[in-house]
Amino acid sequence: MNHYFSENPQTPYKEFSVVYELCGRKFISKTASGIFSPKRLDLGTKVLLEYIIKRSNLDMTNSSILDFGCGWGAISQVLGTFFPEANIYYTDINLRAFDLAKKNLNSFKNCFPEKSFLDVEGVFLDTKMTNIKNKYKFIISNPPIKSGKKALQVFTISALKALENNGQIFYVIHKNLGADSFVKWVNSYLLKAYNIGAVKVSSAKGYRIIVLKKQL
């Protein structure tokens, strides 16, 4: 079956442009059919980015960030402008999405030629993270909920392999799509197996922002 999380989407290629505004800044991206939310910035992604930028008090300057399941690249694009000194990496299993993110983020880098420090790079990680070279301080994701509960658990365990010891994972999940049961699963299974716990740090517009990190 053909989904937005298919590796090679079979949907005929149709290109779109998305213009969006976030925290007072305007962005433009190329998107296409066969990938997640090709016609607009997803509301969950918007809620997640607004939380990180306006409310979390997190300074991601000089940190390495992984945009895990990048889609057409909104998370990297936005974080790259708000934290231009961070090292941002993006990856996606869907090759069409990954290629679009690469195009968007390369042309975005060209808009700031004076900022040689703007570092946004694509890494193609296999789904089990066996080819991982770097570990990341922050992993940010609007995870692929529609791929099912089991797949979300596997995705999360993969993310843990890429996380620095004192790092944090930020997820956005809709309350009607299993946010609370995901937190319960982390605080039972992942806590026992990896000493990783989850906290719901914010709720807005039906979405929960969930932070996963090592417990002291």
Ligand X SMILES: C[S@@+](CC[C@H](N)C(=O)[O-])C[C@H]1O[C@@H](n2cnc3c(N)ncnc32)[C@H](O)[C@@H]1O
CA distance 56 to 202: 9
Q: Could you tell me if residue 78 is left (phi over 0), alpha (psi between -120 and 50 degrees) or otherwise beta?
A: alpha
| Residue 47 binds ligand X (CB under 6 A) | no
127 binds ligand X (CB under 6 A): yes
22 counts as binding ligand X under rule CB under 6 A: no
Q: CA-CA distances (angstroms) from residue 69 to 26, 64, 120, 143?
A: 22, 16, 15, 7
Q: Does 142 bind ligand X (CB under 6 A)?
A: yes
Nearest residue to ligand X by CB is 69
Interaction with ligand X in 146-185: which residues (CB under 6 A)?
A: 147, 155
The residue length of the chain stands at 216
Assess 92 for contact with ligand X (CB under 6 A): yes
Q: Does position 75 bind ligand X by CB under 6 A?
A: yes
- Residue from 22, 29, 34, 45 that binds ligand X (CB under 6 A)? 45
CB neighbours (10 Å) of residue 133?
Answer: 8
Shortest distance in whole angstroms from residue 114 CB to ligand X: 28
Residue with tokens 């992604």: 45
Residue entry with tokens 């699963």: 185
- Determine, following the binding rule CB under 6 A, whether residue 144 of this chain makes contact with ligand X: yes
Residue 115 CB, nearest distance to ligand X (Å)?
Answer: 23
